[in-house]
Amino acid sequence: MMIDIIYSDDSIVILNKPAGMLSVPGRGPDKQECVSHFIRKKFPLCIQQPSVHRLDMDTSGLMVFALTTKAHRSLSIQFQNSEVKKKYIALLDGTTGGNSGRIELSFRLDPDNRPRQIFDPIQGKKGITLWKKIKTDCGKTRIEFSPLTGRTHQLRLHSVHPAGLGCPIAGDRLYGNSSDEKHTAGDRMMLHASELEFTHPVTGEKMKFSSEPPF
């Protein structure tokens, strides 16, 4: 798969992850091809584990990787403290009321149906997402998401749950309307990490990157 490197220096790399590619290695020999391995091959002096955050395999868009231990520590702390600002663009398979809002819902892993997450207001971890409607056209709604937390499948769940927007993200094989259908090679989930803002781990400069969604 083609990976577009947007920026790099001695400490960090910013790139566009293509949909359908893992961020980090999965379980089994057939799931070792990933963006993290690409970084290590492209930058031979890179640390063994350059990943500081992840995108779902079916999600495309901006990611930052650390090339040094110092950069990894700094970026990891920024993510942990919710200091990194992120925006996503999604195309929902349906229409939703309202123009903007805040979603707070708690989910946890369903151990009987991995990797699906299920709503659990008692034992689940709370995810918080700000959203803004961009437009509705032909029965689909384009949304801008600003997640304030980074829970597993957060935007996918906040989209589809009735207490959220009540519409799945188009092309979502796990939670969407076409989850039981066979997908072709051209299908993808319509979710793209479009903006990423953080503090450079060495210079202290505010860094902001943008990427237009390919849908």
Active-site annotation, residues: 56
Question: Residue 73's Cα: distance from chain center in Å?
Answer: 20
51's tokens: 């990943």
- The helix (H) or strand (E) run that includes residue 66 is strand 60-66
Answer for the pair 198, 179: CB distance below 8 angstroms, yes or no.
no
In whole angstroms, what is the distance from residue 198 CA to residue 149 CA?
A: 15
Distances (CA, A) of 1 to 33, 122, 190: 10, 41, 18
Q: What is the DSSP string of 74-125?
A: HHHHHHHTT-SEEEEEEEESS--SSSEEEEEEEEEE-TTSTT-EEE-TTTSE
Q: How far apart are CA 195 and CA 208, in angstroms?
A: 7
